[in-house]
Amino acid sequence: MVVAAVMLTGLGLGLWVGGDGAGPAGTTARAPGTTSASPSDPAAAAAPTPTPTRSYPLSTTPQTIPAVRDHSPARGPGWRPERGQRVVVNDAGLADEGRLIAGELGLTYAGEKGDTKAGDLRLALSGAAGANQESYTMTVRGGRVSISAAGEAGVFYGTRTLKQTVRGEGTAPEGVVRDGPAKERRGLMLDIARKHFTADWIEDRVRELGDLKFNELGLHFSDDQGFRIESSSHPEIVSQQHLTKAEVRRIVQLAESRHITVVPEIDSPGHLGAVIAAHPDLQLRNAQGVAATGAVDISNPAAAKIVDELLDEYAGLFPGNQWHLGGDEYRALMASDPQASYPQLAAAARQEYGAGGTVADLATGWLNDRAATVRAHDRTPRAWNDGFYAGTSVQPDKDIQVAYWTGKEIGARLPVEYLRAGRQVINYNDEFLYYVLGQPQTFVYPTGERIYEQWTPRVLRGTQPVAARYDGQILGGSFAVWCDLANSQTQAQVAAGIRMPLRATVQKLWDEGEPELSWAEFRKLADQLD
């Protein structure tokens, strides 16, 4: 009964020095006033009384979207932001990241400091040679937080993890997070050509994307229905509702602060209806004189000239290193016999490439020429998969990445054909990642649940993944909003409709493995974090 009483006393008062039941010098901890010496021992009377310290359970993994890849738990109180605490950096290049998280958490941005204070949040560039610029380590220990990475993007993503953790749980748990993305391209593409979106709305999406660790925003701003960005070289093609260049610069600047690359797309040689409306002489016509909707005549040098002038102009507006050239759904190559239907194109192909030259060769040459235009501005080009034609004597340039969206179009080939050829591919799978306003044809609004449970970056077409050996060639993926029936939804409805699909998409791009949370748990977490 004496032993039981001692045990109960210990439970009531908690654990002592070290928090694991061990007292000084490895002795067993006892209740205050008891020692290993005899009560009559004078040394015992003079011995200091141990001071109780709190014991903590092992911490749990921070709950974030996307989920962190690795967390080493530890015992401790964690970290909670309090007014007066500092954000300090070890490099002036982290000032943007520091000021942003300080404002979000109500802290004081103190700039570059070498000292440490209680409650500090320290952001640091580690300088690790060859390390992934987007990976980071977040350490919560001793009442402080440190986030370190080889690149500024990694530090930023660490602050997003911290922000979400504090928002969802109140306290960042003790321990070390080691995290980084599986895929380097994680995007949202917006069709702002068919539907005008305001600059404020787009900026809201940029903030949302940044918090979710996306790193691309695609802007498809030229199509048959509109040309939506101010132009100085060809103002005659610009739609009444459009973004000014000043608005675009603000969007780009905000995106850069969130480590998001804005990827512009002027689709050609199809989808140029807005340009053709101002320049009808450029429109493609078949042998009977019937106009091909949205398509320019690629045998006419004036068509190439105007597109190149636009590409050159907007290279100065979009400083990112990526450029989307489109290349899809060229009407001439959707005909059953392109050579007979469009004899002027066939003649131009033979003149350019010899007697065996085809319309597909001419279209491939067009794509290569546009790639050369953006490459001169140090941009990496990409094009839709149905802009790469089989059986041509002219091959698309090797550095043109494949934006794989469908297997439904004429001439569309299986993803493995591009992968076997050594091409890099970005996943835009229309079975999972296409949000098409009004749900025309066979499209239905994608759900986050289906993406979360069935899609991975290797599912490029339909529902079946390509072989794992091609994983390294799949750079990532992009969710896409297309506005075929532009008035079917308001801006607010679009934002609400893509909310959970975006979260599911980035989870699978950040970590291709099976998510630990069920869909119901993931959805609940999203509600807690927003």
Position 3 pLDDT exceeds 50: no
The full set of domains in the chain, from first to last, is 70-179 (3.30.379.10), 185-529 (3.20.20.80)
CB 139 within 8 A of CB 120: no
pLDDT for residue 365: 98
Position 184 pLDDT exceeds 70: yes
pLDDT for residue 40: 42
CB 109 within 8 A of CB 87: yes
Burial class (CB in 10 A: 0-12, 13-18, 19+), 201: middle
Q: Which of 329, 431, 453, 521 is catalytic?
A: 329
| Per-residue confidence band for 409, with pLDDT thresholds at 50, 70 and 90 | confident
pLDDT tens digits, 188-212: 999 999 999 999 999 999 999 999 9
Position 476 pLDDT exceeds 80: yes
Lowest mean pLDDT among 123-137, 288-302, 470-484: 123-137
Is pTM beyond 0.85 here?
yes
Position 21 pLDDT exceeds 80: no
Burial class (CB in 10 A: 0-12, 13-18, 19+), 325: buried
Nearest to 232 by CA among 247, 244, 222: 244
Over the chain, what is the mean pLDDT? 91
pLDDT for residue 94: 97
Lowest mean pLDDT among 39-43, 217-221, 309-313: 39-43
Q: Which amino acid is at 260?
A: I
| Per-residue confidence band for 47, with pLDDT thresholds at 50, 70 and 90 | low
pLDDT for residue 25: 34
pLDDT tens digits, 283-314: 999 999 999 999 999 999 999 999 999 999 99
Position 389 pLDDT exceeds 70: yes
| Per-residue confidence band for 127, with pLDDT thresholds at 50, 70 and 90 | confident
* Cis peptide, bond prior to residue 269, ω within 30 of zero: yes
Mean pLDDT of 328-350: 96
Position 356 pLDDT exceeds 90: yes
Q: Residue with structure tokens 């030229």?
A: 222
pLDDT for residue 410: 74
Annotation says 329 is catalytic: yes
* Rounded Cα gap, residues 29 and 482, in angstroms: 67
pLDDT for residue 129: 67
DSSP letters spanning 64-75? -SSPPSEEEE-B
Q: Return the higher-pLDDT residue of 180 and 412.
A: 180
